[in-house]
Structure 1
Amino acid sequence: MEKSRKTFIGLIDEAIAAANSMRCDELLFSYKGILYPTTLCSPETFKALESFEARRDDVILAGYPKSGTNWLSQILTDLIAISQKKTPGSESSANAEEQEEFPYLEVGDAEKYERMSKLSSPRFMVTHLRPENLPKSIFQNNAKILLLIRNPKDVATSFFHFSNRLATLPSYETWDDFFTNFMKKKMPWGCYFEYLSEWNKYAEKENIMTITYEEVKENPALSVKNIATFFGIPLTEEQLQLVLERSSFQSMKKNSDKTHGSFGNILFRKGGVSDWKNIFSEDQNEKMDKAFEEQIAGTKLGKKLKYDLYCKA
């Protein structure tokens, strides 16, 4: 883990440094109709990703940006350590001889997939991509995917603050400007409603488990147990408590310098639910309610989001 953390911090620091010398209109590029950060992704990487060979025992976390993927990554890496008879956070949980990759599947250089083919199982990977843009081998080989979703108003709110603090993304003078782009599908990694709609087509598959940010917040112990069961990882009560302790917002924020470098100050802001109430206008509420109702409400993922509970003022 130590080596992968250095890989993580190094790649982010390089991306931020490169972005600092770029104009705002250079920060994003379009690939197959979707925008991505120029200093994190590339067309060459996306092309190489198409032939990536997934394994049945890969552990994959899928979630739109600002849905809580960093939080669930902490939980999953600890569960993987436990499955390997290691203690999360201890020196023994790291394989110092193994060169690990930046966990986000679409981030990095085009040669990373060749290096990943040499990693031992289980490989852990995260992605913000829609399913149609993932390698076909993931679905052909029935790799297990934990799909993380979050109420769209908090996603938008968190994404706004994140964009204004991270140099690799365009910043916004006002929340109103950001909201317009969010609703007009001008976001990095694409439109969130389209993301939910596309993933909904896969929601019934046995190799996909859907969990919401809000339910993990409501009952973290039950959520971790359910995730462990889905991936076939036996968990003692002592191990469960350790995972819960290490994945709490307070613990992750406290350790962020070590785990994420300077990026940690940007990444860990509030980690709560319903922050959207501090920023949405009445008109914006109505616009997002209408979009949700028209595009997502009747779907399996739409129902799982409990929109009326979390997104109605």
Structure 2
Amino acid sequence: MAEADTSFLDDDDFTHVINGIRYPRFVTEANLEAMATFDIRDDDIAIVTFPKTGTNWMLEIVTKILSAGGRTDASSDDMVGKLEFQYDDEPRPHHVMLQECASPRVILTHLTPDTAPPGIAHPQNNVKVIVVMRNPKDTAVSYFHFGQKLRSHFARKTPPSWDEFFQLFLAGKYTFGCYFDHVLGWWQKRDDPHFLFLKYEDMKQDLPKAVKTVAAFLQVKLDDASIETIAHACTFSNMKSTLDNSRYEDRTLMARKGIVGDWKTMFTEEQSRLLDSKCKKKLEGTGLQFNFE
């Protein structure tokens, strides 16, 4: 396959490159520099994800667990968005807005350990970090469709075709960089008790189990009935309704199908082979494996 062509992205004001990684334009260099001194509180909960791997799903689960446990009155829609973002209609970046939020804060980020705040990359005391991972094929397809919706919604330059996007994703040249570098960077911390790693596919298979695991990690005691209630509220259809009716434009674009194996509707045999080869090269020997259907 030919080398990924980024020329149409380089000419587009929707993204830019900072320190060799492409970001959406609402992730500024100043915001990234501010991560080094972002103040972490002892009861902070961070949700770390590569884009389109279950960020809002986990946010919904966490906020409902905290609410059921009497820890917060806030809903997922009350939470400040990604830590490193600043939208055009907001006078302050999110990392500044978070300083005014009541505890416990739920902090979302797509950053790698190298670019995230030290208090998230190297948590201390009672800080909790939940890392959600999704198989790269479904991630790519979900990310592609989200990019299409985002650019159409904001009347940006014509988005890449699926073939163009796939080349960029495979080469790690789309926004937020290389999927494999991201997941493996965090996966190295799997033995640190401050971290909980969950896979999107496992959550789909047994959501009540995932809710119970997250509640235990957050040290929130819930009975079985409460866990079942939260799991039901966080099924894809129920969560999609929450997102579709969000007061924030970007959240209304988030949910699409929420299934495992949707990559089969997009991938050619050659693309599947190429990504399988990349998975083997990057993941072999790491202990990290994914289900693709």
TM superposition score category, shorter chain reference: 0.7 to 0.9
Q: Distance in 1 between matches of 2:143 and 2:100?
A: 34
Q: Residues 171-190 of structure 1: matches in 2 within 5 Å? A: 171-190=158-177
1:73 is aligned, of 49, 53, 59, to 59
**Percent of aligned pairs with the same amino acid:** 29
In structure 2, the partner of 1:82 is 68
The number of residue pairs the alignment matches comes to 274
Counterpart amino acid of residue 103 in structure 1: G
**Counterpart contact for 2:82–2:108, Cα < 8 Å:** yes
Give the alignment's Cα RMSD to 1 decimal.
Answer: 2.4
**Counterpart contact for 2:51–2:143, Cα < 8 Å:** yes
The answer to which of 149-158 and 165-174 deviates more is 165-174
Q: Which runs of 5 or more residues in structure 2 are unaligned?
A: 1-8
Q: Is 1:141 aligned to 2:124, yes or no?
A: yes
Q: After TM superposition, give the deviation of residue 182 of structure 1 in Å.
A: 0.6
Question: 1:265/1:171 Cα in 2 relative to 1: closer, same or farther (>3 Å)?
Answer: farther
Higher helix share: 1
Counterpart amino acid of residue 258 in structure 2: G
Question: 1:171/1:77 Cα in 2 relative to 1: closer, same or farther (>3 Å)?
Answer: farther
**Counterpart contact for 2:53–2:200, Cα < 8 Å:** yes
**Counterpart contact for 1:44–1:110, Cα < 8 Å:** no
Counterpart amino acid of residue 253 in structure 2: I
2:225 is aligned, of 224, 238, 241, to 238
Q: Is 1:126 aligned to 2:108, yes or no?
A: yes
Q: Distance in 2 between matches of 1:133 and 1:261?
A: 26
TM-score (normalizing by structure 1) = 0.80
The answer to which of 144-153 and 234-243 deviates more is 234-243
Q: Distance in 2 between matches of 1:134 and 1:66?
A: 18
Counterpart amino acid of residue 120 in structure 1: A
**Counterpart contact for 2:85–2:94, Cα < 8 Å:** no
**Runs of 4 or more consecutive aligned structure 1 residues displaced over 3 Å after TM superposition:** 109-115, 168-173, 260-265
**Counterpart contact for 2:47–2:59, Cα < 8 Å:** yes
Counterpart amino acid of residue 105 in structure 1: L
Question: 1:255/1:114 Cα in 2 relative to 1: closer, same or farther (>3 Å)?
Answer: closer
* DSSP-derived class of the 1:71 partner: helix
Q: After TM superposition, give the deviation of residue 260 of structure 1 in Å.
A: 4.7
Q: Distance in 2 between matches of 1:42 and 1:112?
A: 11
In structure 2, the partner of 1:50 is 36
Question: 1:24/1:267 Cα in 2 relative to 1: closer, same or farther (>3 Å)?
Answer: farther
